[in-house]
Amino acid sequence: PPPIPGTRKEKGVVASCLGDRRAAAMAMAAAAAGGEPVEPQSLKKLSLKSLKRSLDLFAPTHSLPFAPDAESKRIRVSCKVNAEYGAVKNLPTDQGRAQGKGAAAPSNALALLGTQDTKDAPREGTSNAIIPAPLMLPKAPESAVPGKNTTVLSIPGSSDRFSTSALMERLPSRWPKPVWHAPWKNYRVISGHLGWVRSIAFDPGNEWFCTGSADRTIKIWDLASGTLKLTLTGHIEQVRGLAVSQRHTYLFSAGDDKQVKCWDLEQNKVIRSYHGHLSGVYCLALHPTIDVLLTGGRDSVCRVWDIRTKAHVSALTGHDNTVCSVFARPTDPQVVTGSHDTTIKFWDLVAGENYVYSYTP
């Protein structure tokens, strides 16, 4: 039956017919040219033959690696060596350094006049470099006798006195003294705040210090130059207390807005806030050995906070007026507070909220 129009079978028949016609035309052209008659072949057969010939040509070396190019390998190795060892590849080796030391710095030797003739060749391993002699020997070249050579005599223990370091220029043994100024005189004035400066705290590394002011800002200053490095804003009332942690990169601040903030100095932003005071916070302190923060304020309470969890650990109650100062120490009593009620109280954190004893004028 004839193939159905539009199907694959019909397309294959058409392609076969076209291939036969082309092969016949090629055979007729070869016969007309006077050559040997060529057997007519279809286009599919010719393509398969070309594919087979290509496979026979390239198959033996298909999976084999390319032959290395010496020039490209040299360039690649040179680039890698310069990238990795360019800064140190020209440094002298240990052997060369030892030879340089032996040739340029004879350790302990004195120049003496010998009796051998100059025609005698020096032995292998000897050096004819300049050898520093003691001050008692003449240095002028005319002191040497013509026709005589120099013999080296080693003196034990004189390597420190007679070495090439004596020929080098020496630096001054003492640094120049700074200009003296009276310690009670003003050294530097730093200005930048727009209000009263209420608190100051120093970096444990002694590189910068921070100040809190009534203008609601915290400024960080460079200690060496006195220049402003950073300004932190976040409080809505004056900043009354600052503390820099010696164990973390944290700065703690407290103010009249009843807020206690923890600043991360690596990100320069607030990462924690401690809420619990009923009035302004006047002072704060960090415990030197444990992660505990102590704050005191106008609510007459000294509150203990866990730095990491922001948890309110305890409230040290007992004052009758504002707690204006607090101090923490590693041994008992670990907390000392001062208040406007004219008392100083000592607290034990292990015992809880009970104070140990107090001083009253």
Residues 349 and 222 reside in one and the same domain: yes
Residues 320 and 265 reside in one and the same domain: yes
Assigned token pair, 43:
């286009």
Assigned token pair, 56:
């026979």
Number of domains, the chain: 3
Residues 210 and 352 reside in one and the same domain: yes
Residues 153 and 228 reside in one and the same domain: no
Write out the chain's pLDDT in tens, 361 residues. Answer: 555 555 544 445 444 555 555 655 666 665 555 556 667 788 888 888 888 888 888 777 766 777 788 898 899 999 988 888 888 877 777 666 666 655 544 444 444 444 444 444 445 444 444 444 444 544 444 444 444 454 544 455 545 555 565 566 666 667 777 788 788 888 889 999 999 999 999 999 999 999 999 999 999 999 999 999 999 999 999 999 999 999 999 999 999 999 999 999 999 999 999 999 999 999 999 999 999 999 999 999 999 999 999 999 999 998 999 999 999 998 888 899 999 999 999 998 877 665 666 666 6
Residues 112 and 249 reside in one and the same domain: no
Residue 269 is assigned to a structural domain of this protein: yes
Residue appearing with tokens 């050294």: 187
Query: Cα separation of 65 and 212, whole Å?
Result: 72
Residues 20 and 165 reside in one and the same domain: no
Residues 48 and 159 reside in one and the same domain: no
Domain containing 280 equals 197-359
Assigned token pair, 233:
């804003």
Reported pTM: 0.51
Residue 62 is assigned to a structural domain of this protein: no
Residues 206 and 354 reside in one and the same domain: yes
Query: Residue 298 maps to which CATH number?
Result: 2.130.10.10
Residues 258 and 298 reside in one and the same domain: yes
pLDDT of residue 95: 66
Assigned token pair, 57:
């040509």
**3-state helix/strand/coil string of 278-304:** CCCEEEEEECCCCCEEEEEECCCEEEE
Residues 35 and 113 reside in one and the same domain: no
Residue 24 is assigned to a structural domain of this protein: yes
Residues 201 and 342 reside in one and the same domain: yes
pLDDT of residue 328: 94
Residue 318 is assigned to a structural domain of this protein: yes
pLDDT of residue 115: 44
Residues 160 and 304 reside in one and the same domain: no
Residue 13 is assigned to a structural domain of this protein: yes
